[in-house]
Structure 1
Amino acid sequence: MNLFFRLLLVFLRASLARPRVSLFDVTRLRSRVMLTDQDMFAHMTNSRYFSFSDLAVINYIVRTGTWPKLRKRGWFPVVCAESVTFSRMLSWRDRFEIETRLVGWTDTYMCLQHDFTRNGKTGATVRIIARFASRKRDRVTMDDVVAYLGVERQSPPLPPEYEAMVDDVEAARLARANESRVPA
């Protein structure tokens, strides 16, 4: 997280926001491209989209009221995969909004989407696959999280692009597990 002051501002604003929103609501975060967010081509640098997505996740977790519950259990989200698709670049001084929504989940992973919009048009979409980890190093499944948060509905069906990302994450995890079993 390289947007430390923006992080503090987002956390404070989200903490004070009323009313809380549902896990299935869209949360919005407004910002502006600063001079330090640009690359040498006068566009917001690609890595900033992921940094702003981190801010949007903090906003989402705090606004939905899950932050204190997760902290109480010692659970925290860990990003396993991210992808970004661009259609319009943001430039210096552009105001934009990030719309964050929960797309769904599997037994292990949570899927979020962040749409970067300007003047009502989506300029970029960041897709995130995350899982939950525990400070005690216990295995945390999405069933654990959903039950603890009192969610009574099933996950909506995942779009194909998310299913492909989950498959890629699982394949990488299995490959790492196999590498660790191979004697040197």
Structure 2
Amino acid sequence: MTDTFGQGSDLVNPEPEPEPGLQPTALPLDFEAFFRQNKDTFFRIAVNRLHDPRDADEALSDAALVMYKKWERILAHENPIALALRILDNKLTDFYRRTARMAGREQSLTDRPDSSYLMELRSGDLLDGALEELRRLAPLQAQCWEMHKLHGMTHAEIGTHLGITEGAAKTNTSKGHKKMKCLITELPDTEKGDS
């Protein structure tokens, strides 16, 4: 038990051990059934974070592989959906970072996109920047806001997924919405240029 090598993640973020004889209720014991049941929700979250269905599908595949490898831990967790969503969130972040690193190595396009496409990207960038800042400042409010506003989940569903009450989900969504409004207006406008 004194060997800490290879156990760093377990010491930093330990997963609860399953209690003998207890199985989570309303959760299929088969990973494939669980994944089929939640795939649409997982995919919606991935598309809203990455904006491209192909990228979302690739990141979701990576997350599914990790979920499959950790299926026993997910089943033993007090809130299995929350753990699965945390795995998905980590894989989406990894995918985003990996593509950002590779962006510098790719060649630029020869044709410039039209202005309507650029305006759509600009508004998406403002939202992404504000959401990233909210994730840094208040992660629970960011999760609740994103699940409600971007994924169309009810406050009861959010509470179930995050292991909080419906009222707490509603409160965090409301606070997150107010902070998002402030953050979007506070972000610097890149179109104005230097003056």
Q: TM-score, normalised by structure 2?
A: 0.27
Which structure: greater strand fraction?
1
Larger Rg: 2
Between the two structures, name the one with larger relative contact order (CA 8 Å, sep ≥ 6). 1
